[in-house]
Amino acid sequence: MPRSHSATLPIIPLPQGMVLLPGIVNRVTVSSARPDTAALLSAVYSRAGSRGAKGRVESIPIACVPQSRASTSPVGPNGQLLMENENQDNTQSVMNGNDVARVGKTDLFSCGVAANITGVEGRGTGEFSLLVKGAARVKVEKVYQTQPYFEGKVTYHQDEVLSDDSAQELFSTMRLLSRELVAILRVAALLPRPTGSPSLSPILGRRLDWFIQQKSLADAGFLADFMANVCETEFPEKLKVLTLFDVKERMRFVVELLDRQVTSIKRNVKISSITTSTIPIIIDTEDKENGQDRTQRKPRAPVRTPGNGFAVPFSAQRSRGQSGGGDDDDNEPNEIEELHKKLEVAKLPPEAAKVAEKEIKRLKKMNPAQADYAVTRTYLETLAEIPWSIMTEDRLGPHTLASARKQLDDDHYGLEKVKKRLLEYLAVLRLKQSINEGIDAKLKQAEEEVSNLQSNKNDSEVAPSAQVDEQTHAGIAKIEVLKGKRMIDKSPILLLIGPPGVGKTSIARSLAQALGRKFHRISLGGVRDEAEIRGHRRTYVAAMPGLIVQGLRKVGVANPVFLLDEIDKLGHANFQGDPSAAMLEVLDPEQNHTFTDHYINTPLDLSKVLFIATANSLDTIPTPLLDRMEMIYLPGYTTVEKRHIATEHLIPKQIGLNGLEEEQVKFNEEVVAKIIDAYTREAGVRNLEREIGSCCRAKAVEYADAKDNGRLETYKPQLTLEDVENILGIEKFEEEIAEKTSRPGIVTGLVAYSSGGNGSILFIEVQDFPGSGSVQLTGNLQNVLKESVEVALTWVKAHAFELGLVSEPSHNIMKDRSLHVHCPSGAIPKDGPSSGIAQTIALISLFSGRAVPPTIAMTGEISLRGKVLPVGGIKEKLIGALRAGVQTVMLPSSNRKDVKDLPQEVKDGLEVVHVSHIWEAVRYVWPDVHWPSDHELPGLHTRL
β-pairing verdict for 25-31 and 4-13: unpaired
**How far separated are the first and last CA of the chain, in Å rounded?**
62
Please name the residues in contact with 315: beta carbons below 8 A apart, sequence gap of 6 or more: 266
**Is 3.40.50.300 the CATH number for 388-634?**
yes
pLDDT, mean of residues 836-852:
91
Q: Determine the pLDDT at residue 943.
A: 43
Q: Determine the pLDDT at residue 751.
A: 77
Q: How would CATH label the architecture of 639-728?
A: Orthogonal Bundle (1.10)
Q: Would you say residue 276 has pLDDT above 80?
A: no
Low-confidence winner among 123-127, 402-406, 486-490, 614-618 (lowest mean pLDDT): 123-127
The 3-class secondary structure across 375-390, one letter per residue, is HHHHHHHHHHHCCCCC
Sign of torsion over alpha carbons 548, 552, 553, 558: negative
Quick: pLDDT tens for 893-923.
998 988 887 878 788 889 999 999 999 999 9
Q: Would you say residue 149 has pLDDT above 70?
A: yes
How far, in Å, CA of 281 to CA of 298, rounded? 8
3 state DSSP class of 486? coil
Q: What is the DSSP letter of 844?
A: H
Q: Would you say residue 697 has pLDDT above 90?
A: yes
Four-way CATH pick for 746-943: 3.30.230.10, 1.10.10.10, 2.60.40.10, 3.40.50.300: 3.30.230.10
Contact 113, 135 (CB under 8 A): yes
Sign of torsion over alpha carbons 398, 401, 403, 406: negative
Q: Determine the pLDDT at residue 317.
A: 34
pLDDT, mean of residues 517-535:
87
Q: Determine the pLDDT at residue 81.
A: 37
Nearest residue to 797 (alpha-carbon basis) of 864, 735, 706: 864
Task: Return the ∠ at Cα 705 (arms to 703 and 709), rounded to 5°.
Answer: 120
Contact 879, 848 (CB under 8 A): no
Q: Determine the pLDDT at residue 298.
A: 38
692 confidence band (pLDDT: 50, 70, 90): very high
Amino acid 490 reads K
**Model-level pTM?**
0.57
Q: Which of the residues are catalytic?
A: 834, 877
Ligand-binding annotation for 502, yes or no, is: yes
How far, in Å, CA of 287 to CA of 283, rounded? 6
Q: Would you say residue 331 has pLDDT above 50?
A: no
Ligand-binding annotation for 900, yes or no, is: no
pLDDT, mean of residues 687-711:
91
pLDDT, mean of residues 261-275:
62
Ligand-binding annotation for 133, yes or no, is: no
Contact 556, 606 (CB under 8 A): no
Q: Determine the pLDDT at residue 698.
A: 92
Nearest residue to 387 (alpha-carbon basis) of 558, 273, 217: 558
How far, in Å, CA of 472 to CA of 465, rounded? 10
Quick: pLDDT tens for 345-398.
888 888 999 999 999 888 888 877 777 888 888 899 999 999 998 888 877 777
Contact 584, 625 (CB under 8 A): yes
Q: Determine the pLDDT at residue 468.
A: 65
3 state DSSP class of 228? helix
How far, in Å, CA of 487 to CA of 361, rounded? 40
Quick: pLDDT tens for 731-789.
876 655 666 667 898 998 887 654 455 677 888 889 999 988 898 888 877 777 888 88
3 state DSSP class of 640? helix
82 confidence band (pLDDT: 50, 70, 90): very low
pLDDT, mean of residues 691-712:
91
Nearest residue to 114 (alpha-carbon basis) of 131, 87, 132: 132
Contact 257, 263 (CB under 8 A): no
Low-confidence winner among 257-271, 354-368, 507-521, 565-579 (lowest mean pLDDT): 257-271
Please name the residues in contact with 535: beta carbons below 8 A apart, sequence gap of 6 or more: 543, 544, 545, 546, 549, 597, 598, 599, 600
Q: Would you say residue 434 has pLDDT above 50?
A: yes
Quick: pLDDT tens for 450-497.
777 766 665 545 555 666 677 777 777 777 777 777 766 677 788 988
pLDDT, mean of residues 17-32:
82
Q: Would you say residue 406 has pLDDT above 70?
A: yes
Strands (E), 861-906: 861-862, 868-869, 888-892
Ligand-binding annotation for 194, yes or no, is: no
If one compares 737 and 612, the residue with the highest pLDDT of the two is 612
Helical (H) or strand (E) element with 820: strand 817-822
Q: Determine the pLDDT at residue 700.
A: 92
Average pLDDT of the chain is: 78
Ligand-binding annotation for 608, yes or no, is: no
275 confidence band (pLDDT: 50, 70, 90): very low
Quick: pLDDT tens for 819-828.
999 888 755 6
Please name the residues in contact with 24: beta carbons below 8 A apart, sequence gap of 6 or more: 133, 134, 225, 226, 229
CA 510 to chain centre: 27
Superfamily in which the 4-157 domain is placed by CATH: LON domain-like (2.30.130.40)
Ligand-binding annotation for 288, yes or no, is: no
The percentage of the chain sitting over the pLDDT mark of 70, rounded to a whole number, equals 80
Q: Determine the pLDDT at residue 794.
A: 92
How far, in Å, CA of 341 to CA of 353, rounded? 12
Quick: pLDDT tens for 301-320.
333 333 333 333 333 333 33
189 confidence band (pLDDT: 50, 70, 90): low
pLDDT, mean of residues 102-119:
83
What are the angstrom distances between the C-alpha of 588 and each of 54, 625, 627, 636, 930? 61, 8, 9, 29, 61
- Domain boundaries in the chain? 4-157, 165-296, 326-385, 388-634, 639-728, 746-943
Ligand-binding annotation for 364, yes or no, is: no
If one compares 466 and 562, the residue with the highest pLDDT of the two is 562
How far, in Å, CA of 21 to CA of 224, rounded? 10
Cis peptide bond N-terminal to 280, omega within 30: no
Q: Determine the pLDDT at residue 632.
A: 86
Helical (H) or strand (E) element with 632: strand 630-633
Q: Determine the pLDDT at residue 190.
A: 61
